[in-house]
């Protein structure tokens, strides 16, 4: 069964509430509880294979960093009283089972571990310094309870997505990467019979196209292992992007027929992406040659220093 982990953790937290409140009254008035961060269960894509490590009922308790040290012994004592299993699955709340993914954590420490910043990013330089996958990790999952609101306030600022200038810069760079790898270098590599280069070009195009799909949906792209599966859940061009990536994965580039089919699928996807960029008011250039759209998108950036960067640089 896929996506079981988050539901189990939610249920385990609810079942644990009476014990937590009895052992440490007022804890949930000071802490947020939920499940977010690393792990396929935080994305809802865990399955039977996921259960071999760092999986099972568990939850995070996020507290302000300045009060966590004082409360930690009491919290650990309360957590030690919780049942060791839920719905037949071993729980992860004992220290030796947490792997740093569940249990008590400082709010700033949690976000700093993922983003590098103890406070929400404010400048375009700070936003660009955080990998998309890191932003996906610290905004995924679910918050079960947050009476104080501090953890959720940080989360909401990240979920509001990139500032417009940073988004434009990323979209411009993705246009260039998709055009260079998929529309230009892949067909040229195939003409030369260089199958290794063709494979690398297809892979670069696939990753750039997936990132483009997430950016156009105002979503952070997760770890590459899950990006194609989750692209199917996005609005257009997410599903088509995932289908093209899956087609590239099974294409025998030694076959002229299969290669031509893959190249046609790439051009069709670029047409959809170009149309979407025009619909969103980000570009006006006609056609589907994304190399022409990238610089135009970058010209719309208001911050001069960011606008002057190499258009291919993210």
pLDDT for the residue 61: 98
pLDDT for the residue 1: 43
pLDDT for the residue 54: 86
Structure-derived torsion over alpha carbons of residues 157, 159, 163, 168, reported in degrees to the nearest 10: 170
Structure tokens at 257: 């027929």
What's this model's pTM, rounded to 2 decimal places? 0.95
The residues of the chain scoring below 70 in pLDDT are 1-2
Contact 187, 263 (CB under 8 A): yes
């Amino acid at each position: 069964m896929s996506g079981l982990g988050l539901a189990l953790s939610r249920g385990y937290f609810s079942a644990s509430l009476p014990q937590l409140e009895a052992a440490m009254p007022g804890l949930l008035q000071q802490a947020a509880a939920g499940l977010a961060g690393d792990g396929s269960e935080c994305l809802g894509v865990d399955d039977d294979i996921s259960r071999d490590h760092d999986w099972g009922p568990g939850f995070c308790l996020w507290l302000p960093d300045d009060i966590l040290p004082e409360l930690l012994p009491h919290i650990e004592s309360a957590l030690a009283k919780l049942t060791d299993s839920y719905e037949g699955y071993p729980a992860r709340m004992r220290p030796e089972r947490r792997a740093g993914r569940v249990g008590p954590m400082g709010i700033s420490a949690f976000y700093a571990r993922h983003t590098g910043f103890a406070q929400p990013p404010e400048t375009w330089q700070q936003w660009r310094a955080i990998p998309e996958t890191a932003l996906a990790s610290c905004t995924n999952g679910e918050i079960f309870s947050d009476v104080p609101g501090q953890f959720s306030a940080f989360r909401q600022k990240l979920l509001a997505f990139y500032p417009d200038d940073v988004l434009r810069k990323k979209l411009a760079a993705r246009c260039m990467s998709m055009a260079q790898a998929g529309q230009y270098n892949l067909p040229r590599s195939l003409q030369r019979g260089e199958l290794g280069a063709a494979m690398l070009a297809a892979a670069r195009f696939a990753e750039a196209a997936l990132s483009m799909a997430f950016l156009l949906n105002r979503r952070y792209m997760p770890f590459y292992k899950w990006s194609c599966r989750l692209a199917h859940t996005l609005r257009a061009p997410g599903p088509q992007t995932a289908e093209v990536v899956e087609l590239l994965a099974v294409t025998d580039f030694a076959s002229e027929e299969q290669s031509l089919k893959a190249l046609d699928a790439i051009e069709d996807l670029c047409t959809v992406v170009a149309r979407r960029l025009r619909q969103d008011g980000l570009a006006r250039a006609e056609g589907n040659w994304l190399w022409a759209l990238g610089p135009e998108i970058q010209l719309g950036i208001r911050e001069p220093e960011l606008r002057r960067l190499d258009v291919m640089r993210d």
